[in-house]
Amino acid sequence: MSAERMEIIFETADRFPGQIAFDVSFRNARYIDHANAGTAERLKISADIEKTAEREGYEFIHGRKGVDGEMMPIQRFISAHPHAAADPRPIVDAFRDQGYDVVVRGGYMNGEILSFEDLCSMSRQDHDRATREEAAYAACRAAERAGRDAAAVLRLKAAALAEEAPVTAQFASQDDRNAFRARQARVRERETGLEMPEEEQRAAFAA
């Protein structure tokens, strides 16, 4: 089954200087549309998007007051911490690691947030090269993730086998070994007696 596509639309560097801002489009609807839809499924989608963004250091900003005091709509996730403002790749990787087929749009180009002027000045060759490099980076990350997942499965299997393996007792002497075997024999005798039908148990005790 193919992964569902998610678009992350980054603002250019000149719109929010010193910060990184983006919106998310999933199933042909923006984050805020999912949040406002009112259905359980779409509320879960919006909650998953919001929690992922928060873990990576972003907060959703509905709007800000302009110089005239009027509220200007923003409706973007904006970096709230220095580490988030320094690098856009972790948030892209976070959604990819959740299994989405992430497509990046807007000001993002191969791990960097460019200004509108820089984007417009790129040649077709530069654009294609950056796109190829981003695809190679994403493929490498996916391979690393698959390797980690496979290693985790092997560790779980090894742990399960270890739990199922019989415990080997270490004895200091032959007398200790004989005493342990005698205790095992008594336990087996009790277990066998408990498993016997009640009539046979009475007969055994009577004898």
Model confidence at 73: pLDDT above 60: yes
The pLDDT of residue 8 is 96
Write the CA distances from 124 to 23, 103, 117, 118, 120, integer angstroms. 25, 19, 15, 13, 10
Please write the tens of the pLDDT for every residue from 111-169.
999 999 999 999 999 989 988 998 898 888 888 877 877 777 777 777 777 766 655 55
The pLDDT of residue 169 is 57
Please write the tens of the pLDDT for every residue from 35-48.
999 899 999 999 99
pTM of the predicted structure, to 2 decimals: 0.67
Model confidence at 88: pLDDT above 50: yes
Distance (Å, rounded) from C-alpha 21 to C-alpha 77?
5
The sign of the CA dihedral 121, 124, 126, 127 is positive
Q: Is 51 exposed, middle or buried (0-12, 13-18, 19+ CB in 10 A)?
A: exposed
Q: Are 115 and 107 in contact (CB under 8 A)?
A: yes
